[in-house]
Amino acid sequence: MKYPVMTINEAKIRQNSRTVAGLCRKHGIDVWGVTKGLSGDPRLASLYREAGFKGAADSRLRNLEKLREAGVPMLRQLMRIAMPSELEELIHTADVSLQSELSTIKALDKLCAAKGKNHDVLLMVDMGDLREGFWQTELPRAAEELRGLVGGVRLKGVATNYACASGVLPSRENMENLVRSRDRFAEMLGVELPVVSVGGTCCLKSIEDGFVPGDVNQLRLCEGVLLGTDTAGGREIPYLEHDAVTITAEIVECRHKPSVPVGETGFQAFGEKPVFINRGMRKRALLAIGRQDVNMDRITPIRRDVHIVTASSDHLIVDVTEADSTRSPDEGYKPGDTISFRPLYPAMLACATSEYVEVRFE
């Protein structure tokens, strides 16, 4: 078997997807499964589709192109605001996009009209997280300029993100403000805007607690389905599976060494100065995976008696002294053995993006 590898348990992802789809369906909400967590893997999109998700969403057109080329029969949504330089690719690859720049929307509209195509757009509204989106005071001017669209772009609704840049969580108040923004846009434009879209696994708690306005009818999410966690809300979601994704790396060296560096220390390769506790001689395993592949601060060894020490670009160093104490000398960790970890979202994203980590569905 090739290592390092990130293993995806299809049955658990399928179960999580169905559970989330069922919860949202009860509240009249369509789910769009975000695929960027696994770098636009068509196998993930197919699991979303089986569960009844409305479409697949990603922040990279290259990932959406993977879905198109694989023939996954789902609507495709670009979540990141389109670069003006990629509009040709956008209308070829995605069915709908989230937009917040008037000049980009106008250019997209003209391009679509010239090519005899239509493209659906959701207008991003900033609900306080201070990333992308129109600010409330901008709505009248935005509506005034959008009245001049020539018909290539079809405005379908409004959207917002939560807890992506500043950690702002969804609330009854800011969701109701989003609906009011949709109503203002629709009135000023003189059109119907049927979609009110929210993004983030943290929105599941709002649905559970019953304070999502009835007009909110689209949810974009990824983390909850893949990992069963809600980083923004600081919780493991109790009704979802939490171990559907594991990262496994192979040991390339194993020996006893001091637990504190010997000699004067400066900063290591990543500009950090690690702090070490003197625990005497310890057995350390050197794994063939590093910071180039994974965020070491966002993985947890599955075995509680294995402890992460530090990492460089290409190696992860773990303390296996306690783990070896429960084994006979012949059964202790050695080169060729493997150690597995449970990732949080940033670590999963990094591994999916690294060309040096195989992603395997089982």
Among candidate residues 144, 210, 146, 138, the one with its CA nearest the CA of residue 175:
210
SS3 of 247, please?
strand
Question: What's the CA angle centered on 176, arms 172 and 181, to 5 degrees?
Answer: 150
Q: What is the 3-state secondary structure (H, E, C) of 86-132?
A: HHHHHHHHCCEEEECCHHHHHHHHHHHHHHCCCEEEEEEECCCCCCC
Pairing of strands 55-58, 30-34: parallel
Using DSSP, state whether 1 is helix, strand or coil.
coil
Q: How far apart are the first and last CA of the chain?
A: 14
The catalytic residue positions are: 36
Token pair in block for residue 101: 């720049």
Return the structure tokens found at 292: 């180039």
139-146 vs 172-189: helix axis angle to the nearest 10?
40
How would you classify the pairing of strands 229-230 and 235-236?
Answer: antiparallel
Which stretches does DSSP call E strand in the chain? 5-8, 30-34, 55-58, 75-78, 96-99, 119-124, 153-161, 195-199, 218-221, 229-230, 235-236, 245-258, 281-287, 299-301, 307-311, 316-319, 338-343, 358-361
Q: What count of residues does the chain have?
A: 362
Rounded alpha-carbon distances, angstroms, from residue 295 to 141, 181, 285, 305: 42, 38, 18, 20
- d(CA 61, CA 59) in angstroms, rounded, equals 7
Specify whether the CB–CB gap between 6 and 360 falls below 8 A: yes
